């Protein structure tokens, strides 16, 4: 059981909102090469994640892990806070 859990997807991003109760919105950024022109393009995606203890604040760098659906939009949960905002 423990081995299967390690295969879940993980993302690292920055908290952009924590207004929901036990919910945070995390913005994940990455670079992708354009298939024709070869230029690197910045891509962003927002994920809604479960924050059980309401411990995140806006600007924190966090690690998310994929989980079962927790609500209509939440499919990720907070694993750890990598860096707290100052």
The CATH number of whichever domain residue 79 belongs to comes to 2.40.50.140
SS (H, E, C) the chain: CHHHHCCCCEEEEEEEECCCCCEEEEEEEEEEECCCCCCEEEEEEEEEEECCCCCCCCCCEEEEEECCCCCCCCCEEEEEEEECCC
What pLDDT shows up at residue 10?
Answer: 97
Domain containing 37 equals: 2-83
Number of domains in the chain: 1
Tens digit of each residue's pLDDT (9 = 90 or more) over 35-65: 999 999 999 999 999 999 999 999 999 999 9
Output the pTM of the full model: 0.87
């Amino acid at each position: 059981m423990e081995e299967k859990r390690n295969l879940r997807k993980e993302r690292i991003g920055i908290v952009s909102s924590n207004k929901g109760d036990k919910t945070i919105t995390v913005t994940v950024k990455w670079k992708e090469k354009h298939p024709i022109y070869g230029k690197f393009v910045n891509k962003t995606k927002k994920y809604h994640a479960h924050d059980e203890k309401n411990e995140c604040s806006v600007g924190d760098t966090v690690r998310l892990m994929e989980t079962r659906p927790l609500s209509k939009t939440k499919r990720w949960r907070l694993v750890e806070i990598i860096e707290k905002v100052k």
